[in-house]
Copies of this chain bind each other. A is one copy, B any other.
């Protein structure tokens, strides 16, 4: 009989700057919204559900396309009647890891966040939580909610809970950097130089840890958006924005809260200047960009959901 050698222990790299590491495989889950397979499946349907929008044209996936890193790569997303808002749509990938949702952190959790877009007049533009619920009822969601949340449970809060549960599955492991850290793959020499550079010059004071964000709100003296101040009204919150994660950042152009910067190269230079007062050389910029590209993870595998619909007539879309 053939003998089998024990698998060689992977050789771990010794050059990883302090704090950096592979993407955690477990996301935080709030005690009042435990993950279940059926809830995730319902949340997926709702995530792809154009009936959340008044016109029947937009689902969450319109602006946060799971086929393109959870974004639409627009400066400002196209919403109801071709309106555009004033902020760039961030990715939903890994959003379960953020301390708070939105650029200004105004939604503490994914559950709170998911209640926003259906009623936002420049996004999905539904009239009220009640109209959304009655649409979902007409579509035939009642029994699906019942299975997940119990009898008579089709309501706006549970809709948001199911969507949040689905979003908690949208994590992107196995980026080239993760494989490198774990001794399962290589990254280029340029990327390694970039990796050291971001630690040496201090990017990682904010973009720290395996998420490449310390999940705090920091001043970014750029653009006309007040950031956290637009929520709190406090002057000391002016231009505070959540430190954006670098996870998948190469795929989420254009950059910054106002989507004003077209290339990652330029975003890196602006950051270095604004946050660290330093003018990066072309070579250092290129190395950092190469490093950031190694943070593109594996997109979640998602089977396209079949949505409940009434037989013999359509839902009532409106303009």
A73 and B309 form a contact (CB under 8 A) = yes
In whole angstroms, what is the CA distance A311 to B73 when docked?
11
A233 is an interface residue with CB less than 8 A from chain B: no
A304 and B303 form a contact (CB under 8 A) = yes
- The count of identical subunits is 2
Contact residues in B for A253 (Cβ distance below 8 Å): 312-314
A100 is an interface residue with CB less than 8 A from chain B: no
B303 and A301 form a contact (CB under 8 A) = yes
A62 is an interface residue with CB less than 8 A from chain B: yes
A315 is an interface residue with CB less than 8 A from chain B: yes
Question: At the interface with chain B, which of A50-58, A197-205, A239-247?
Answer: A50-58
The number of residues on chain A lying at the interface, defined by a beta carbon within 8 Å of a beta carbon of chain B, is 44
A69 and B309 form a contact (CB under 8 A) = yes
Question: At the interface with chain B, which of A8-16, A119-127, A184-192, A258-266?
Answer: A258-266
Question: At the interface with chain B, which of A34-42, A74-82, A156-164, A224-232?
Answer: A74-82
A312 and B265 form a contact (CB under 8 A) = yes
Contact residues in B for A78 (Cβ distance below 8 Å): 55, 57
**A–B complex contacts, Cβ < 8 Å, 7 sampled:** A56-B74, A65-B307, A66-B304, A67-B305, A74-B317, A250-B312, A264-B312
Chain A residues near B (Cβ < 8 Å): 45, 48, 50, 55-57, 62, 65-69, 72-74, 78, 81-82, 250-251, 253-254, 262-265, 289, 293, 296, 299, 301-307, 309, 311-315, 317
